[in-house]
């Protein structure tokens, strides 16, 4: 499966954080500010998205 395709699937299934980071180029703190969320929450969501992407690519 293509990495970009997997990433888009994950972005659609999760939330705005992955989309903003990977497809829009925002930094963690910018995303936290935009979504009015703690920085730790944003980092956790991105970490989870990376794990999901790795699972899909390993198939």
pLDDT value of position 12? 62
pLDDT digits (tens, 9 = 90+) for 5-27: 776 766 666 668 887 887 789 99
| Under 8 Å between Cβ of 33 and 16 | no
What structural domains does the chain harbor?
A: 3-58 (1.10.10.10)
Enter the pTM of the model.
0.70
């Amino acid at each position: 499966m293509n990495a970009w395709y997997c990433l888009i699937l994950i972005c659609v299934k999760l939330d705005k954080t992955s989309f903003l980071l990977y497809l829009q180029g925002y930094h963690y703190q910018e995303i936290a500010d935009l979504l009015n969320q703690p920085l730790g929450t944003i980092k956790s969501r991105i970490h989870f998205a990376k794990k999901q992407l790795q699972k899909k690519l390993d198939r």
